[in-house]
Amino acid sequence: MLYVKAPAKINLTLDVLYKRPDNFHEVEMVMTTVDLADRISLESREDGEIQIISTDNFVPNDHRNFAYQAARLIKDTYGIRQGVSITIEKEIPIAAGLAGGSSDAAATLKGLNELWDLGLSIDELAELGAKIGSDVSFCVYGGTALATGRGEKIKELPAPPNCWVVLAKPKIGVSTAEVYGGLKVEGLEHPNTKQMIQAIETKDYELLCSSLGNVLETVTFKLHPEVVMLKEQMKRFGADATLMSGSGPTVFGLVDSEARVSRIYNGLRGFCEEVYAVRILGERNTLA
């Protein structure tokens, strides 16, 4: 049995530049991992089957599951006859904009690389991950990075300034496809990605807070007004800066004072069940 952690990510910036001929959007995102993670257990099977077991009934246990797709891709690409049982202990909320499914896939790729002694480099695993989903390559590397293309081109960045992150997910699911489908690229107010990178490189917390931006908020806020309310409440309770992660609906707040974390956490728990207080991880993962 092999165990691998699958950490969540947040978007410090998410910009959409244009729609590509392949119908994907050209994006520019600064992402970082946080200390909220699923736990993946992998055990080889002799019957060649891929089995998904999850602690959460909402996680699909078939080909729709990204971890299943990762195992199938490894098996097909490298002619592996063994099967695998994949147990997913969920901590990351589902359909939350935190890349839970993508991180599970990345952890599965890294774990199977070790379990089946394939000897693949982290770059090779990230290349495989790009075939599964746009965030999987980033999740293979972890840490902090600028992601471009459709999200699969990864440039490593240093860890951001140390701070707390309070995450809150309202009781709704958001369709990423619907959000991107409703996005009008013309007239968008684009986040300053270069300024965000500068804030990270110089460890300037105030500049980082003022550089947060996510163009998908414009769509998700119209579809789900409760996300706007959650963001406003988080700011009112004392977060230094707030932003929706990914296509939502999770909102996060950055806080540099531990004393304020519990006040924000407790305030949000009053009307939102899924609230987490975590730290930014910031550093790249090692292989498995």
Binding residue numbers for ATP: 93-103
Query: What distance in Å separates the CA atoms of residue 79 and residue 240, rounded to the nearest whole number?
Result: 51
Cβ atoms of 144 and 30 within 8 Å: the answer is yes
Query: What distance in Å separates the CA atoms of residue 56 and residue 35, rounded to the nearest whole number?
Result: 20
Query: What distance in Å separates the CA atoms of residue 204 and residue 196, rounded to the nearest whole number?
Result: 9
The two three-digit tokens of residue 69, written as one number: 């797709």
Sheet holding 251-255, edge to edge: 241-244, 251-255, 164-169, 274-279
Quickly list DSSP for 12-66: EEEEEEEE-TTSPEEEEEEEEEEEEEEEEEEEEESS--EEEEESSTTS--STTSH
Active-site amino acid positions = 9, 135
Residue 275, phi then psi, degrees to nearest 5: -130, 135
> If we measure between CA atoms, which residue out of 163, 165, 143 comes closest to residue 154?
143
